[in-house]
Amino acid sequence: MTRLNRRTLIATGLAAALPWRASAHESRSAETWVMPEEFLPRPIRFRDPQEPGTLIVDPDYFALYHVLTERRGMQYSVGVGRGDLYESGWFTLGAKKEWPSWTPTKDMIARDPDQYAKWADGMPGGPRNPLGARALYLFDDRGGDTFLRIHGTPEPWTIGSAVSNGCVRLANEHIMELYEMVEIGAPILLLPKTASA
């Protein structure tokens, strides 16, 4: 597979505009939220051949690319980890779950005990769960769970921003679509951030 960087990844179909962001004071609910058109999935063409089945996340563009053939794929809009919580590198899809349960990590609880300590024993899956409708579990090269996820969200208005505790989030309807197409063992590349976010 060609060594990836943004120069080789840039594809026909990428949105040229900066991501749209909602006002911090805007009233929101997942039931009434309408995804901006520029955040809807779209077909793309890669400049250089890629390995089919690969997932590639570009945090600077808030984009996830699913490689369908060597030259074609789908682009999904995502939210990514804020600040230095985003972790780049190569991973493997080690597990995937529908309506997954969620347990905050010890680091999350230490950073914000008021928000996370009450869920130290876990939160069952469901519409209010932070992992949303589906989750893809990223494993390291030794087969260990990294606790990084590509998952849905009950807060679709956060797509296009760096707000998470390190995971990559998609709108629930988009992760449900992606979930059906990706297979256990798929390679996953989280490109490093180059822009401040």
CA distances from residue 103 to 73, 96, 162 in whole angstroms, order as listed = 32, 16, 21
Residue 85, classed as helix, strand or coil, is: helix
Q: Of the candidates 136, 178, 132, 179, which has an alpha carbon nearest to the alpha carbon of residue 152?
A: 132
**Least confident interval from 3-17, 83-97, 136-150:** 3-17
The predicted structure's pLDDT at residue 113: 92
Residues 73 and 93: their CA atoms lie apart, in Å, by: 18
pLDDT of 58 > 80? The answer is yes
The model's pTM is: 0.84
Residue 14, classed as helix, strand or coil, is: coil
136 phi and psi angles, rounded to 5 deg: -110, 130
Options 2.40.440.10, 3.40.190.10, 3.90.800.10, 1.10.3720.10; which CATH number does 36-190 get?
2.40.440.10
pLDDT per residue as tens digits for the range 136-187: 999 999 999 999 999 999 999 999 999 999 999 999 999 999 999 999 999 9
Q: Which two tokens stand for residue 137?
A: 């579990």
Q: Which helix (H) or strand (E) holds 179?
A: helix 172-181
Q: In percent, how much of the chain has pLDDT > 90?
A: 71
Largest CA distance in the chain: 47
Domain limits of the chain? 36-190
Cα 80 to its chain centre, rounded Å, is 6
**Least confident interval from 26-40, 89-103, 107-121:** 26-40
The predicted structure's pLDDT at residue 129: 93
Residues 152 and 170: their CA atoms lie apart, in Å, by: 5
The predicted structure's pLDDT at residue 15: 40
**Least confident interval from 49-53, 64-68, 108-112, 188-192:** 108-112
pLDDT of 16 > 50? The answer is no
The predicted structure's pLDDT at residue 8: 52
The predicted structure's pLDDT at residue 5: 54
Q: Which two tokens stand for residue 120?
A: 């130290």
Per-residue DSSP letter, 15? -
- What's the start-to-end Cα distance of the chain, in Å? 29
Q: Which two tokens stand for residue 135?
A: 């989750």
